[in-house]
Amino acid sequence: MSRAASTCLAGVLILCSSGCTSSPPLPKRCIFITLDTCRADRLTCYGSQTAQTPSLDRLAAAGTLFEDAFAPVPLTLPSHCSMFTGLLVSHHRVRDNAWYQLGSDIPTLAVRLMEAGIETAAVIASFPLERRFGLARGFSHYDDGFSLEPVGTGDPKPWYGHRFSRFERRGEEVTDGALVWLREHGSRGKSFFLWVHYFDPHSPYDPPPLFADRFPNQPYNGEVEAMDHAIGRLLEGVRDHGLEKDTLFVAVGDHGESLGEHGQHGHGYSLYQDTLRVPMIFRLDGVIPAGRRVQDAVQLVDLCPTVLEFFGLTPGVPMDGESLWQVLTKQAPVPRRPAFAETVYPERYYKRPGAGSFCVRVGSWKLIADRQGKPRELYNLDSDPNELTNLKEDAVFWEEAQAAQMLALLRDYLREAEQPSPEPVTKLDTEALEAMKALGYVR
For the stretch 112-156, pLDDT in tens is 999 999 999 999 999 999 999 999 999 999 999 864 444 333 343
Q: Containing H/E element for 310?
A: helix 303-310
Q: Containing H/E element for 31?
A: strand 29-35
For the stretch 227-273, pLDDT in tens is 999 999 999 999 999 999 899 999 999 999 999 999 999 999 999 99
pTM greater than 0.85 (yes/no):
yes
What pLDDT does residue 214 have? 93
Task: Give the CATH fold of the 341-438 domain.
Answer: Arylsulfatase, C-terminal domain (3.30.1120)
228 CA to centre of own chain: 16
What pLDDT does residue 333 have? 96
Rounded Cα gap, residues 222 and 226, in angstroms:
6
For the stretch 407-427, pLDDT in tens is 999 999 999 998 877 666 777
Asked whether the predicted pLDDT for residue 68 surpasses 50, the reply is: yes
Rounded Cα gap, residues 44 and 429, in angstroms:
41
CA angle 424, 430, 431 (to 5 degrees): 95
**Where do the structural domains in the chain lie, given as residue ranges?**
29-337, 341-438
Asked whether the predicted pLDDT for residue 24 surpasses 70, the reply is: no
What pLDDT does residue 353 have? 84
Architecture of domain 29-337: 3-Layer(aba) Sandwich (3.40)
- Inter-CA distances, 220 with 2, 32, 207, 227, Å: 83, 23, 8, 11
Rounded average pLDDT over 27-34: 96
For the stretch 195-219, pLDDT in tens is 999 999 999 999 999 999 999 999 9
